[in-house]
């Protein structure tokens, strides 16, 4: 990779981080409104699947990458308590200081670290679970991030990815979903956050992103074994669960 490409990637990544800083204070409200709260079920499903696969009552660490306002950490903790699973440490990592400031006000049991997925500030083979919800498409150097996840996970550790993956939309229902994502979502998100461009970025970034099959292949190439994939809500969201070999 030449210096120009690296510099362009840095500029693009910094721009994305700044955008999330700008919408941090309204991010949770916008998510709930735009997903009608359904995203809660998607997140719970990912947590349960990871705990099922690990099948352990004692875990050292859960690390949530691109943690945003820390929503997923609450599910990791609450579901672990329901299942009688002891977890020594919860860590949230995000490059957006604005998002982390909000996270610290609502999640008092986790350590938060400013950092990027592709330069993960986590020690080698130190965490049982790494999750990233609706954040992997915002990582400019995604392949490096997946390699970092593999490095930081213990042997047999689990990576959980929730994401809006690219879909082949051709049916009538698909066109309705496509209209909602491209036309309705930016307007509603823009009204709530007062930042139209940030929510116009969401459907645009999905169109530029990978299919589920392509992301699964990248995970396998990074040294993971795919354990579970499932699309939710007419293909709007996809859950991928993989295990470090």
In order of 26, 152, 181, the CA distances from 200 in angstroms are 16, 33, 9
Burial zone of 191 (CB within 10 Å; 0-12 exposed, 13-18 middle, 19+ buried): middle
CA 171 to chain centre: 28
DSSP 8-state code for residue 181: I
pLDDT more than 90, % of the chain:
56
pTM above threshold 0.85: no
Of all residues in the chain, what percent carry a pLDDT higher than 70? 73
**pLDDT tens-digit series, residues 49-95:** 999 999 999 999 999 999 999 999 999 999 999 999 999 999 999 99
Strand 224-232 and strand 111-114: pairing?
Answer: unpaired
> What residue ranges do the domains of the chain occupy?
3-167+211-244
CA distance 27 to 71: 11
Residue 32 has pLDDT above 60, yes or no: no
- CATH topology for 3-167+211-244 is Rossmann fold (3.40.50)
Q: What is the 3-state secondary structure (H, E, C) of 16-36?
A: HHHHHHHHHHHHHHHHHHHHC
Is 149 strand, coil or helix?
Answer: helix
Tokens for 113? Answer: 């670290």
Name the more confident of 219 and 183. Answer: 219
| 131 φ, ψ (degrees, to nearest 5) | -120, 155
The residues near 2 (Cβ < 8 Å, ≥ 6 apart) are none
Give me the chain's average pLDDT, please: 84
3-state secondary structure (DSSP) of residue 167:
coil
Question: What's the whole-number mean pLDDT along residues 17-22?
Answer: 72
Relative to beta strand 224-232, strand 237-244 is antiparallel
């Amino acid at each position: 990779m030449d210096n120009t490409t690296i510099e362009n990637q840095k500029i693009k990544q910094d721009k994305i981080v700044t955008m999330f800083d700008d919408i941090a204070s309204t991010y949770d409200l916008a998510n709930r409104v735009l997903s009608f709260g359904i995203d809660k079920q998607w997140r719970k499903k990912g947590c349960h699947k990871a705990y099922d696969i690990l099948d352990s009552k004692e875990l050292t660490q859960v690390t949530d990458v691109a943690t945003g306002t820390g929503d997923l950490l609450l599910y990791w903790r609450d579901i672990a308590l329901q299942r009688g699973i002891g977890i020594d440490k919860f860590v949230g990592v995000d490059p957006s200081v604005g998002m982390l400031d909000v996270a610290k006000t609502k999640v008092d049991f986790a350590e938060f670290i400013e950092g990027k997925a592709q330069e993960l500030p986590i020690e080698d083979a130190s965490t049982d679970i790494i999750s990233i919800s609706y954040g992997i498409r915002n990582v400019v150097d995604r392949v490096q991030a997946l390699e970092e996840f593999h490095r930081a996970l213990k042997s047999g550790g689990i990576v959980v990815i929730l994401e809006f993956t690219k879909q082949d939309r051709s049916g009538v229902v698909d066109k309705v979903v496509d209209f909602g994502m491209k036309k309705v979502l930016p307007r509603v998100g823009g009204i709530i956050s007062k930042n139209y461009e940030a929510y116009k970025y969401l459907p645009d970034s999905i169109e530029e992103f990978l299919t589920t099959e392509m992301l699964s292949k990248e995970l396998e190439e990074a040294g993971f074994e795919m354990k579970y994939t499932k699309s939710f809500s007419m293909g709007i969201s996809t859950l991928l669960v993989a295990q470090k070999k």
